[in-house]
Chain A
């Protein structure tokens, strides 16, 4: 009997603890979501609402598009530009902010495709093939992952200059592709595939490449998905690389664009929020759509071999 009473008290206590922690988590979560809320509502606030001083305007008094039209009117640029030799192909003239988005999308997609392809191949080789130098290569990859990218910033800059791709998209894309996280992630996924599958395929007479494309690749698809989402979001938000590698205004990305706006008019917060919304909303949608892959990618990357 006494034992049962104790249990009741303990249950009650854990119930109280559960509710209290729920309330606190909700409050903290609201604080975490607040900056995003502030960006989106701020983007639609009128100048008076923004500069209201002591009166906090929690919800826009009127939803206005002024900030966006200001953002769009500021400058203009061709929608896209290709330079092939001396020939330049340029698209129709659009607001510069749209061009920034196009640049960001191009760089993120190119980084994503290149990373997924190279990382899937290398991850497969590291997981399923035994070759000389495998252990050394793998430890190099792990060490490189622990190093902040910024440490190699100066040599990278000079290298890009020497290669003649400084101030082009490729100067931002190539270092991302060389970054070994994707390889590490896909090695983890490939290790989970039974070796018998690969062997059976070889016995059936498929060559190395067919084994990879027809057997391995379909089976590590979730991993490739995770790798794709990761790379896309990281390169979309890779402000540092973009800042360093793209000094001229020609190849401005959306992240760089907002930073520039901030430098030009550091007090027009409405304009800044419109820019921030334009930069973050697309990527948040991508994240929400592919959330499942993302969580899986984060956790798989952490399981150390």
Chain B
């Protein structure tokens, strides 16, 4: 009897070992890329942020927290952080509300119309950031742009405005373009979330005399909470990542009015070749995003 137990456990152990080896062999091709091109650079980002690493320097020099200290005294960094936060704080709520509204409006339509609209709202995402950016550059342009032409001919503007070259408008224009490219995915998600809402609950509520408004907020909205949470997180990350728009339209100008952290990292790496300093900024950015995601999850789960 005792022998038998030992035998079984041996077989079990062999099976477990076999299962582990097989699993890791299946994981291996992905893990090679994941470790080399995601995890290792992440680690190096934190590591190098404590060094003075430049293009010209042969070896990185350890300088402790000096990069971070410099960062906190860098007015452009603060300006970039501020602008990044404005972009996030405006675009995330607007994207969520707008896409929820569009989704709930188009789900009531016939199936063909729903998928046609879903497709149209997704188009700016597929078109690609560069193509979208150059067409908006033309539309916003001072002398040939359609926005100035329409504004002046309808009497809304008394003279042509240099939208992207004016400190007052540049950031707002960037946010507007960003919005058009970021609602596509949330709309797709909300449409399918609204489809998946438990219909019997809604019907029961309607029989009990609930108004459509009540049915929406009391029955559908709570069921869509996980979707909303996911949308909040991805939209936040997307807004932080907005890069092509700024690089191609304004390069952070005029007078740093559209400088974001993302662009400032790029600028430090490619114009100033300050790798350590740029990495320190990357670490701060990652921390902010992690913190925001954590808060969103916490709030979402409590609800």
Indicate, yes or no, whether A interacts with B: yes
Q: How far is the CA of A41 from the CA of B44 in the complex (A)?
A: 47
Asked whether A155 lies within 8 Å of B20 as measured between CB atoms, the reply is no
Asked whether A56 lies within 8 Å of B134 as measured between CB atoms, the reply is no
Q: How far is the CA of A262 from the CA of B131 in the complex (A)?
A: 11
The reply to whether the CB of A74 lies closer than 8 angstroms to some CB of chain B is: no
Residue of B nearest to A258 (CB): B130
Main secondary structure of the interface of A (DSSP, over half): helix
Asked whether B44 lies within 8 Å of A159 as measured between CB atoms, the reply is yes
Instruction: Pick from A55, A137, A288: contact of B119, CB below 8 A.
Output: A288
**Chain B 226-260, CB within 8 Å of chain A: the 1/0 string?**
11001001000100110110011000000000000
**Chain A 72-96, CB within 8 Å of chain B: the 1/0 string?**
0000000000000000000000000
Residue of B nearest to A13 (CB): B212
Residues of A within 8 A of B135 (CB): 35-36, 38-39, 42, 273, 276
Asked whether A36 lies within 8 Å of B127 as measured between CB atoms, the reply is yes
**Chain A 92-134, CB within 8 Å of chain B: the 1/0 string?**
0000000000000000000000100111011011100111101
Residues of B within 8 A of A154 (CB): 45, 48, 265, 269, 275, 278-279, 282
Contacting chain A: which of B5-13, B30-38, B197-205? B30-38
Known contacts A54-B152, A153-B266; decide if A299 and B243 are in contact (CB<8 Å): no
Residues of B within 8 A of A1 (CB): none
Residues of A within 8 A of B189 (CB): 298-299, 302
Residues of B within 8 A of A16 (CB): none
Asked whether A304 lies within 8 Å of B126 as measured between CB atoms, the reply is no
Contacting chain A: which of B61-69, B141-149, B166-174? B141-149
Asked whether A304 lies within 8 Å of B226 as measured between CB atoms, the reply is yes
Residues of B within 8 A of A174 (CB): 33, 36-37
Known contacts A25-B106, A50-B144; decide if A146 and B127 are in contact (CB<8 Å): no
Asked whether B262 lies within 8 Å of A150 as measured between CB atoms, the reply is yes
Asked whether B126 lies within 8 Å of A32 as measured between CB atoms, the reply is no
Residues of A within 8 A of B283 (CB): 151
A-B CB contacts (within 8 Å), total count: 269
Residues of B within 8 A of A125 (CB): 22-24, 26-27
Known contacts A124-B26, A178-B36, A272-B134; decide if A150 and B241 are in contact (CB<8 Å): yes
The reply to whether the CB of B290 lies closer than 8 angstroms to some CB of chain A is: yes
On chain B, the number of residues with a Cβ less than 8 Å from chain A's Cβ atoms is: 92
Q: How far is the CA of A269 from the CA of B134 in the complex (A)?
A: 8
Q: How far is the CA of A161 from the CA of B285 in the complex (A)?
A: 24
Residue of B nearest to A300 (CB): B192
Asked whether A153 lies within 8 Å of B37 as measured between CB atoms, the reply is no
Count chain A CB atoms within 10 A of each CB in B25, B126, B278 and give the residue with the most: B126
Residues of B within 8 A of A52 (CB): 144
Instruction: Pick from B29, B42, B102, B126: contact of A233, CB below 8 A.
Output: B126
Asked whether A148 lies within 8 Å of B39 as measured between CB atoms, the reply is no
Q: How far is the CA of A153 from the CA of B44 in the complex (A)?
A: 11
Residues of A within 8 A of B37 (CB): 156, 159, 174-175, 177-178
Residue of A nearest to B286 (CB): A151
**Chain A 234-264, CB within 8 Å of chain B: the 1/0 string?**
0011011001100000000001001100100
**B residues adjacent to A (C-beta < 8 A):** 19-20, 22-27, 29-31, 33-42, 44-45, 48, 102, 105-106, 108-109, 115, 117-124, 126-132, 134-139, 141, 143-144, 146, 149-150, 152-153, 180, 185, 188-189, 192, 211-212, 226-227, 230, 233, 237, 240-241, 243-244, 247-248, 262, 265-266, 269-270, 275, 278-279, 282-283, 285-286, 289-290, 293
